[in-house]
Structure 1
Amino acid sequence: MAVIKIRKTGEIIKGEENVLRFLEKQGVLYEHWDINKLPDRLKEKFVLTDGEKEEILATFKEEIENLAARRGYKAWDVVALSDATPNLDELLKKFEQVHIHTEDEVRAIIAGHGIFIIKGDEQTGYFDVELEAGDVISVPEGNPHFFTLMEDRQVVAVRLFIDPSGWVAHPYEEKEEVIK
């Protein structure tokens, strides 16, 4: 289950209902998929063939199509990152900059861990959402955020898009240093 850490206050929010309620208030979609559907041989595998990526998409076809129908997503893929990923540190440097998109940024974590740092409302400020297998999140278009890996540096995620060709990160600069 996802865990939220509010940077301003140090408050930690746990439990699916509490996480869901907090993220809903911030305009962020959160769901949880049954990761037990995934074949055991893929549950902790972070270097995937194209065939294994297709198998993941087929395993979660119903969930993906349901989310896509509700939110207007038209394409999806699987991304796998780990220390075996070429140029991982360079990729992470790109991810670890606050940015916005002209569409939602959606991740369904299939294996490993990831963390979104999201700008909340004025009272809340930035908060971290630590995600694990089964967690699904959609950061709304125009909402400042960034995504990175956690200490284990490995994640497999399904990404959903309205238009993957137009899915570009646009830098976002704060007026003051508030995210660290």
Structure 2
Amino acid sequence: MGISAWYMDSSDEDQRDPHQLDPNQPVSAEELQRLGVFHWELNADIYENDPELEKIRKEQGYSYMDIITIHKDTLPNYEDKLKMFFEEHLHLDDEIRYILDGQSYFDVRGKDERWIRISMSKGDLITLPAGIYHRFTLDHTNYTKAMRLFVGEPVWKAYNRPADDSHIRKKYLDFLQDS
């Protein structure tokens, strides 16, 4: 099926809406890779014993893993968490998420500061590079189950924008200039 991504409109309507422009302006997997965003499609039905996932984890050094279910019945402080996930932020480490069930969106800032919405569904594994401004939200299904992967110990700290003076942001901007 392939990843689906597009430039977003500037509407303040419900964050769970697709927010596509009219006409839609798709963003290719190659364009995302130039931003440092990478994607794999895996079989989420066999994630516990998937040799392909094991291979990726080994190659990338993803030693830590946990699973989060984002739904009003399973996530304490659901509404507050959704608001927090949707605040524009960056991390000092890559963000790696594997959608095991449901659907969601990751929004990332393109080179021109425009938002790019990446639609995620069951079987999609994505890596967002350290230093990229991004945010996360559910779509109207209001449900996703995701594996969170890390190199080493998990670091949950998010640095809300503006964090332009951080060393990791500067390192990411240098990467963008070279790509």
The counterpart of 1:28, out of the listed 33, 37, 45, is: 37
The 1-side partners of 2:120 and 2:156 are apart by 22
The 2-side partners of 1:75 and 1:125 are apart by 32
Residue identity in the other structure for 2:42: W
Residue identity in the other structure for 2:49: T
Partner of 2:139: 150
> Unpaired runs of 5+ in structure 1?
39-55, 176-180
Secondary structure in 2 aligned to 1:166?
Answer: coil
Deviation at 1:174, TM superposition (A): 8.6
Cα pair 2:99 2:146 within 8 Å, conserved: yes
Residue identity in the other structure for 1:150: D
Deviation at 1:72, TM superposition (A): 2.5
Task: Say yes or no: does 1:81 pair with 2:70.
Answer: yes
Task: Say yes or no: does 1:119 pair with 2:109.
Answer: yes
Cα pair 2:42 2:53 within 8 Å, conserved: no
Partner of 2:157: 168
**Higher deviation after alignment, 26-35 or 103-112:** 26-35
Matches within 5 A, 1:1-180: 1-7=2-8, 10=21, 11-13=24-26, 19-35=28-44, 37-38=45-46, 56=47, 58-60=48-50, 62-85=51-74, 86-122=76-112, 125-173=114-162
Q: 1:53-91: per-residue Cα shift (whole Å, max 9, x none)?
A: xxx5x233x233322222232211111111212321011
Q: Scaled by the length of structure 2, what TM-score is found?
A: 0.74
> Unpaired runs of 5+ in structure 2?
10-19, 165-179
**Identical aligned pairs, as a percentage?**
25
The 1-side partners of 2:68 and 2:148 are apart by 7
The 1-side partners of 2:137 and 2:105 are apart by 5
The 1-side partners of 2:158 and 2:81 are apart by 13
